[in-house]
Amino acid sequence: MKPDYQSKIGSEAERLELRDRLAGKFRSFLPDESVLVDEEDLRPYECDGLSAYRQLPMICVLPHDIEQVQSVMRICSELEVPVVARGAGTGLSGGALPLNDGVLLSLSRFNQIIEVDEANRTARVQPGVRNLAISEHVSDLGLYYAPDPSSQIACSIGGNVAENSGGVHCLKYGLTVHNILKLEVVTVDGELITIGNDTYDSPGLDLLALMTGSEGMLGVIVEITVKLLPKPEVARVVLAAFDDVQRAGDAVAGIIGAGIIPGGLEMMDNPSIRAAEDFVRAGYPVDAAAILLCELDGTEEEVVDDIERVRGLLQGCGATEVRVAADDDERARFWSGRKGAFPAVGRISPDYYCIDGTIPRRHLGHVLTRISELSDEFGLRVANVFHAGDGNLHPLILYDANIEGELERTEQLGGKILEMCVEVGGTVTGEHGVGIEKINEMCIQFTDGALTQFHAVKAAFDPDGLLNPGKAVPTLARCAEFGAMHVHGGNLPHPELERF
């Protein structure tokens, strides 16, 4: 995949000269070990979790306080050097892919929970704090942080904000955007600004929502105020097995249609069931065509009533088995299989490519059937794991990058799946972001007018296009080349935006 970005550096000699000049400036306020220029030191930063795309940065810096981040941004703005901010590197869309003529700004040392306000159920945290660490830190207070991506043991909260991450409990409790109150952000020219506040509403434009999911293109997030929720009194998981994926999809629609909003509602097909069971021994029925995991939480009375209603709905939709977790240990095992599905699939294939699209729930059965047909057409196995409750699909395409042309065929299959998501009224991403992976499919989802407005917003925050250029929003020229829409002469209406 070619990023939507053109380097301004004409030769390798110019690049090395700029690198050395930057290193000298950075070392005036950062220790030597926080300024990385050697290839062996830069290699760990060459990709994010979407490891199909790799690129060494020109230089990497690891600041440990806000003032240092501001200084980095002032220098890069002055010299017109692009900057890519990086968290834990667990992203799955190439959003943190560095540039060989740019600075990689690592926020891994921003890893402190600054303050917990138990009375107001909030916490102030730095962007490098792991998602799961927040819930672990406040567990003794009977609180937790609701968004729980499968990578929560490793992913950072700053990256969660940049991609608007979700998780298995996002159906009831929302995505990241629904669970934060305030951000401290360093702008492209080094100014520190506050977006949002400590209350649930604030006057003016909703810049908090705009910044969430902006993929590092509008500013560098250096502090987040998150909402905390009280742990539910009771939480139980129902596992249902089906001999047909269409019936499982119908069951999802049936549960939501009955007015039941589970804490989590997840679906896995047979390949992912078998991989997960072999990996974590979760107790899954390995002969099932699909399983649903439905978590119900609330008071004891509410949960008991909802379980009986859900059991009846599942059986009415043709479930071959319905099982309620006997205790918290079995509940944890059921979820461990789902949350371990990605690494489990990694054990049965040299490589896999994770797609992230969202569709209306009523089309689940049709889309899964079509994915199976496309799998046969392209000769590539696909394991499906997804947040069924909100229609967020995660097909995992199994491939071998050592086989010539197989990555390209995998990308083509992934593109077809995302195009199908748009065709049925969905979107090309639910929580992983666009990055460079889905930038062509953005041409399919959005009109030239909408993309022009996206570029105008980007220009308002970053007029020189230095923050994570080439990601998330394609140029109209790229879309014209991709052939997805009519563009006036294939040119942007504002020539100064072509670098974005």
Same domain, 363 and 418: yes
Confidence (pLDDT) at 499: 32
Q: Check whether 494 has a pLDDT greater than 70.
A: no
Last residue of a domain, one of 292, 307, 342: 342
Question: CB under 8 Å to 270, separation ≥6 — which residues?
Answer: 286, 287, 288, 289, 290
Q: CATH number for the domain including 271?
A: 3.30.70.2190
pLDDT at 486: 33
135 to 11, 108, 129, 213, 366: CA distances (angstroms): 49, 19, 11, 22, 37
Question: Both 170 and 72 in a single domain?
Answer: no
Domain assignment present for 432 = no
Segment (H or E) for 311: helix 300-316
Residue 450 structural domain:
446-497
Query: What is the arithmetic mean of pLDDT over 44-57?
Result: 91
Same domain, 400 and 458: no
CATH code of the domain in which 57 resides: 3.30.43.10
User: In the predicted model, is pLDDT for residue 488 greater than 70?
Assistant: no
Out of 214, 230, 246, pick the residue that ends a domain.
230
Q: Is the same domain home to 119 and 24?
A: no
pLDDT in tens, 409-451: 999 999 999 999 999 999 999 999 999 999 999 999 999 999 9
Question: In this predicted structure, what is the pLDDT of residue 366?
Answer: 87
pLDDT at residue number 482: 84
Mean of per-residue pLDDT scores for the chain: 93
DSSP 316-370: HTT-SEEEE-SSHHHHHHHHHHHHTHHHHHHTSSSEEEE--EE--GGGHHHHHHH
Does 438 fall in a domain?
Answer: no
Mean pLDDT across 457-478: 96
C-alpha distances out from residue 211 to 170, 243, 448, 453, 485, Å: 19, 43, 22, 15, 27
The three-class DSSP label of residue 83 is: strand
Number of domains present in the structure of the chain: 5
Residue 410 maps to which CATH number? 3.30.70.2740
pLDDT band at 2 (very low <50, low <70, confident <90, very high): low
> Does residue 207 belong to any structural domain of this protein?
yes
**Does residue 4 carry a pLDDT above 90?**
no
pLDDT band at 364 (very low <50, low <70, confident <90, very high): confident
Q: What is the pLDDT of residues 108-142, one digit of tens each?
A: 999 999 999 999 999 999 999 999 999 999 999 99
pLDDT of res. 484: 43
Residues 142 and 240 in one domain: no
> pLDDT tens digits, residue range 157-181?
999 999 999 998 999 999 999 999 9
Are 300 and 333 contained in the same domain? Answer: yes
500 has pLDDT over 70: no
- pLDDT for 52: 84
Indicate if 117 and 226 belong to the same structural domain: yes
In a domain, 319, yes or no: yes
| Residue 384 backbone dihedrals phi, psi, to 5 degrees | -110, 125
Q: Which helix (H) or strand (E) holds 183?
A: strand 180-186
491 pLDDT band, cuts 50/70/90, is very low
The pLDDT assigned to 202 comes to: 76
Q: How much is the pLDDT for 1? A: 65
Cβ(255)–Cβ(240) below 8 Å? no
Task: Grade residue 79 by pLDDT with cuts at 50, 70 and 90.
Answer: very high
Do 70 and 16 fall within a single domain?
yes
Please report whether residue 1 resides in a domain. no
Q: Return the minimum-mean-pLDDT range out of 259-263, 355-359, 393-397, 490-494.
A: 490-494
The closest of 346, 327, 325 to 280, measured between CA atoms, is 346
Question: What pLDDT is stored for residue 62 in this prediction?
Answer: 98
Residue pair 391/360 in contact (Cβ under 8 Å)? The answer is yes
Residues 326, 267 within the same domain = yes
311: in domain: yes
Give the H or E element holding residue 443: helix 439-445
Section 301-307 average pLDDT: 96
Give me the residues paired with residue 358 across strands.
392, 427
Same domain, 128 and 210: yes
Instruction: For 246-272, give the DSSP string.
Output: HHHHHHHHHHHHTT---SEEEEEEHHH
Domain with residue 156: its CATH number is 3.30.465.10
pLDDT of 3 reads 67
Mean of pLDDT values over 69-94: 97
Q: Which of 75, 106, 137 is the last residue of a domain?
A: 106
Tell whether 118 and 178 lie within a shared domain: yes
- Please determine, for residue 32, whether its predicted confidence score (pLDDT) is greater than 80: yes
What 3-state DSSP class applies to 296? strand
> Where residue 497 falls among pLDDT bands split at 50, 70, 90?
very low
Condensed to tens digits (0 to 9), the pLDDT of residues 245-268 reads 889 988 998 999 999 999 999 999
Q: Is 228:121 a contact under the CB 8 Å cutoff?
A: yes
**128: DSSP letter:** T
Q: Are strands 264-269 and 290-298 parallel, antiparallel or unpaired?
A: antiparallel
**In a domain? residue 431:** no
**Nearest-5° Cα angle at 78, 75 to 80:** 100
Task: Assess if residue 129 is contained within a domain.
Answer: yes
282 pLDDT above the threshold of 70: yes
Residue 112 contacts residue 199 (beta carbons within 8 Å): no
Token look-up 């400590």 returns 198
117 and 223: one domain?
A: yes
